[in-house]
Chains A and B, each alone.
Chain A
């Protein structure tokens, strides 16, 4: 059975991520310190503010561990768990992990903020995590800041009065701005893809 470890730093919907992984046929194990990691796939679920999340990662030892992510470990960040993969964020003053080159900026749009609800995605580059997901149905978003990166790291984006980064990737590290665990079948498919990546 495919296995994924899920980081729990006390700020993020760990239970629903684990539940979606189980529905994808993946064994999910919650880990609270780097020494507990045993799978080859790791998820950073996230809901929260940038600085508060970085602080939790630092206190739990995950920040230092992830800063030197082993090559054989595939990482998936979700929402603010994706944003901390960047070098910095306009939402806070702390440094991000810098695993995916780029920074997090406030969404600049004439539309109401935050970007909230189901939005379709446009896939710009083939990637295993996107395989067979339905881009028209899209995913569920809740965020006021978004990841701005070089085009070679941008796998998918959404339109919200301008392009908003949806999926970013650099090497063995991937991040999704939306919540797969709240996106019904499309989210379960993405989790299954990640576990097979």
Chain B
């Protein structure tokens, strides 16, 4: 029986890891390899890594090689990807999946990458905001560049692409521990592609609540697995609900 995937989501920022709130307010978590070793010990289902380093535009392959050498779990990597050769290199150093984020509208990059590494290894991360009236806007470049696509247009665009996973990340929920946003799950589930939601997990009940309504969704978890208490003290954990 397939187990619901619950994946820690960590953010590379320079040599270490950070956690954000609404893609801002960076809080240092620690050394990437040390955090990875803890997640190894905790036997996490898989790990999602985004590189949000602000002062470099290239992929930090040296760090990713070290991470993959240590990792006993599958890794999805996203951030600063702009070419097919980068995608091939990321798979070759040990990432199971590569997530296209800011280059999401580069159709050729996605198609050509899938022809090399297989559609199952290509994920798309959709960073979005939803306003009070339920209107959704999508963003690239870690929330800085608004994409001129409605949800209908995005669904139509993705439906023709060779993609193995959709990761929906609500920027306004990032790091706030207020429960997941579920408003887009029904629409994106229709694509018939595995779906992961990220942003807002408060505790195990956040996952249990969504799972009771959307049993096929998987979950990315940032703050809940990394920060504890009112002061957000750094404590790496993996309290996985039985879903």
Check if A and B associate. yes
Q: Which residues of A lie under 8 Å from residue B70 when comparing CB positions?
A: 19
- Give the shortest distance, in Å, between A183 (CB) and chain B (any CB): 8
Are A13 and B91 in contact, with the CB atoms below 8 A? yes
User: How many residues of A are in contact with the other chain, CB < 8 A?
Assistant: 41
Are B92 and A13 in contact, with the CB atoms below 8 A? yes
- Give the shortest distance, in Å, between B186 (CB) and chain A (any CB): 14
B216 part of interface (Cβ distance < 8 Å): yes
Q: Which residues of B lie under 8 Å from residue A48 when comparing CB positions?
A: 91, 116-118, 121
Q: Which residues of A lie under 8 Å from residue B120 when comparing CB positions?
A: 114, 116, 142-144
Are A118 and B45 in contact, with the CB atoms below 8 A? yes
A65 part of interface (Cβ distance < 8 Å): no
Contacts A16-B94, A118-B3, A142-B96; A179 near B74 (Cβ below 8 A): yes
Which residues in window 1-17 of B have CB below 8 A to A? 1-5
Are A116 and B165 in contact, with the CB atoms below 8 A? yes
Are A111 and B96 in contact, with the CB atoms below 8 A? no
Are B2 and A118 in contact, with the CB atoms below 8 A? yes
Of B114, B117, B164, the contact of A11 (CB 8 Å cutoff): B117
Q: Report the Cα distance A182→B97, complex, angstroms.
A: 12
Contacts A118-B45, A143-B120; A113 near B193 (Cβ below 8 A): yes
Chain B binding site: helix, strand, loop or mixed by DSSP? Answer: mixed
Are B68 and A13 in contact, with the CB atoms below 8 A? yes
Q: Which residues of B lie under 8 Å from residue A49 when comparing CB positions?
A: 114-118
B127 part of interface (Cβ distance < 8 Å): no
9 A–B pairs (Cβ distance < 8 Å), ordered by A: A13-B92, A16-B69, A112-B189, A112-B193, A114-B194, A118-B45, A142-B97, A182-B72, A185-B43
Name, among B91, B120, B192, the residue most crowded by chain A CB atoms within 10 Å (CB to CB): B120
Which residues in window 137-190 of A have CB below 8 A to B? 138, 140, 142-144, 159-160, 179, 181-185, 187-188
Closest Cβ neighbor of B165 among chain A residues = A116
Contacts A13-B94, A112-B193; A117 near B72 (Cβ below 8 A): no
Q: Report the Cα distance A117→B97, complex, angstroms.
A: 12
Are B116 and A52 in contact, with the CB atoms below 8 A? yes
Q: Mark A13-32, 1 if CB is under 8 A from B, else 0.
A: 11110011001000000000
Apart from the given pairs A113-B193, A118-B45, A119-B3, 15 other A-B contacts in the complex at a CB distance below 8 Å = A11-B88, A12-B91, A13-B91, A15-B93, A19-B69, A49-B114, A111-B2, A117-B194, A118-B3, A119-B2, A140-B46, A142-B120, A182-B74, A182-B96, A185-B43
A120 part of interface (Cβ distance < 8 Å): yes
Q: Which residues of B lie under 8 Å from residue A188 when comparing CB positions?
A: 72
Are B164 and A114 in contact, with the CB atoms below 8 A? yes
Q: Which residues of B lie under 8 Å from residue A16 when comparing CB positions?
A: 68-69, 71, 94
